[in-house]
């Protein structure tokens, strides 16, 4: 089964990964899947990290232990990479 054949599941982890991937691409850490180019836009990266922080704030005390840990890990990893790029 290829990646395109797999069924996408709409859940919190997918949302976190989607926003996190957008931040990583905007930091030039991953190529844009549409054109294969590495592009850097730190303003967009910061916006996506901020979106994850809003998500964290709005879901506080409503996440499972695993979901909370995953969200915190993604945010901290992205923040660290962002600071290293500045």
Q: What is the pLDDT of residues 20-49, one digit of tens each?
A: 999 999 999 999 888 999 999 999 999 999
| Cα angle: 80, vertex 53, 43; to 5 degrees | 65
pLDDT in tens, 67-81: 999 999 999 999 999
pTM, full prediction: 0.87
Inter-residue contact 32 to 25 (CB < 8 Å): yes
CB 50 within 8 A of CB 34: no
């Amino acid at each position: 089964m290829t990646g395109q054949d797999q069924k996408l599941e709409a859940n919190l982890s997918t949302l976190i990964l989607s926003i996190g991937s957008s931040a990583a691409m905007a930091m030039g850490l991953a190529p844009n899947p549409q054109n294969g180019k590495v592009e850097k836009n730190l303003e967009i990266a910061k916006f996506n990290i901020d979106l994850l922080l809003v998500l964290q704030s709005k879901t506080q005390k409503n996440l499972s232990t695993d979901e909370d840990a995953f969200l915190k890990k993604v945010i901290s990893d992205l923040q660290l990479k962002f600071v290293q790029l500045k």
